[in-house]
Amino acid sequence: MSTRELIAQNIVEVLADMAPPRAGLVSREPVDIEKIAITQFPAIVIESGNELREDIAMGQYRRGTIEFTIRGYVRSDSRNTHIISVDQKRNNLIERIEETLNSDRMRAVDSAGEGLNVTTRVSQIQIQPRVPPLGEFTMLVEVKYNFRGGAV
């Protein structure tokens, strides 16, 4: 299995297992957010993106930087005694995703018994316009890893 895929699977696993607010849906496939069940909120969609590669040691070792796009969706409701706004829910989910990804920035992946020297960082968060009760954001996550040339 490719290192790209191992990293993507790790991100999906840790976000599916994060503490409250726990995601009702974690997917790598796009979803029609207006057609999912209320119980599937908050929803998270993870997509692998572009990758920049460069040599780091005389052609033997290379570094890859993969961009992952994480789309988060929240829905405001009034089931509790007070209403939590879309903005509050969105901010809570953003913080929780970032904390979860930062809890193991090494991504705990190692396909060949070698250390991959992986680092993860959230580089950008954009709020997407939505009509309440829905809220959406896009988070760009960069994962840098080292590998032997030709071994991905």
**Tens of pLDDT, residues 131-149:** 888 999 999 999 998 877 6
Question: Does residue 152 have a pLDDT over 50?
Answer: no
Q: To the nearest whole number, what is the mean pLDDT of the chain?
A: 86
- State pLDDT tens for residues 19-65: 888 899 999 999 999 899 999 999 999 999 999 988 887 667 888 89
How much is the pTM?
A: 0.85
User: What is the CATH superfamily name and number for domain 3-148?
Assistant: Phage minor tail protein U (3.30.70.1700)
Question: For every residue of the chain, which 3-state class applies, written as one string?
Answer: CCHHHHHHHHHHHHHHCCCCCCCCEEECCCCCHHHCCHHHCCEEEEEEEEEEEEEEECCCEEEEEEEEEEEEEEECCCCCCCCCCHHHHHHHHHHHHHHHHHHCCCCCCCCCCCCCCCEEEEEEEEEECCCCCEEEEEEEEEEEEEEECCCC
- For residue 80, what pLDDT is reported? 55
